[in-house]
């Protein structure tokens, strides 16, 4: 199994304000089960928030 480097994920309000930074997608998924769909672009929001990978 390949190990992928962890990527930080930012949780944002719909008007673009940063709410929280998660250290990994797995950590964000504990609070928001559909976060992967938002990060992949197949959904625009999850539970009233949007998510982006942090650079």
pLDDT in tens, 12-42: 999 999 999 999 999 999 999 999 999 999 9
Is 43 inside a domain boundary?
yes
The answer to whether the beta carbons of residues 8 and 38 sit under 8 Å apart is no
What pLDDT is attached to residue 47? Answer: 96
Is 31 inside a domain boundary?
yes
Q: How far apart are CA 1 and CA 31, in angstroms?
A: 26
1 pLDDT higher than 70: no
Angle at 27 between CA 17 and CA 48, to 5 degrees: 40
Q: What range does the domain containing 14 cover?
A: 9-53
What pLDDT is attached to residue 52? Answer: 96
User: Domain total for the chain?
Assistant: 1
Is 1 inside a domain boundary?
no
Is 4 inside a domain boundary?
no
pTM of the model: 0.87
| Partner residues linked to 13 by β-bridges | 49
4 pLDDT higher than 90: no
Is 2 inside a domain boundary?
no
């Amino acid at each position: 199994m390949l190990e992928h480097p962890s990527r930080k994920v930012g949780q944002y309000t719909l008007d673009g304000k940063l709410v929280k930074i998660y250290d990994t997608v797995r950590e964000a998924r504990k609070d928001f089960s559909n976060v992967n769909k938002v990060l992949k672009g197949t959904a625009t929001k999850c539970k009233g928030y949007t998510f982006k990978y942090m650079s």
